[in-house]
Amino acid sequence: MNPSEALRIAIQRGLDLIEIVPNATPPVCKIMDFGKYKYEQTKKDKLQRKHQQVTQVKELRFHPNTDVHDFEFKARHGRQFLEDGHKLKATVVFKGREITYAQQGEELLKRLEEKLSDVGKVEQSAKLEGRSMAVIFAPERSSKKKSEKKQKPIETQKEG
């Protein structure tokens, strides 16, 4: 159909002639209400942004001489962060002359890796940067799905 005839039909129907594929031979056009089309596109975009999940990087800070109870407490928090689907950055901060105990900080991070191995995997291994040593954990996909299943309420049967 030639363009002038298509445009005439679109005007008769009170709609718009929209060029879909301009580079094709011949160009592909469609007769539709452009305002309604744009409205539906914005609704789809909003819905996609709504369902998009933003991951945050949560941080746990330790010192090379962190005691067992403090370590366990922070490891539980780290486990919860990973189960919620966030990334986790565990940092051992060295103050003053504590930098000479870098080996203790590395051992502490290894213990944390073992403790959180079932809910997360190491994305970046222990690396000394200035006066801190850091490890980055990423959540396991399967553990995230399990926590979502736990949160969903069980539906009761409908009466009637």
Domain boundaries, the chain: 1-33, 57-146
Q: How confident is residue 143, by pLDDT bands cut at 50, 70 and 90? A: very low
- pLDDT value at residue 4: 87
pTM of the model: 0.57
- pLDDT value at residue 27: 85
CA separation for the pair 132, 62 (Å, rounded): 10
Average pLDDT across the chain, whole number: 85
Nearest to 106 by CA among 134, 74, 87: 134
- pLDDT value at residue 125: 87
pLDDT in tens, 61-73: 999 888 999 999 9
Chosen CATH of 57-146 out of 3.30.110.10, 3.40.30.10, 3.40.430.10, 3.40.50.300: 3.30.110.10
Which backbone phi and psi does 25 adopt, to 5 degrees?
-120, 115
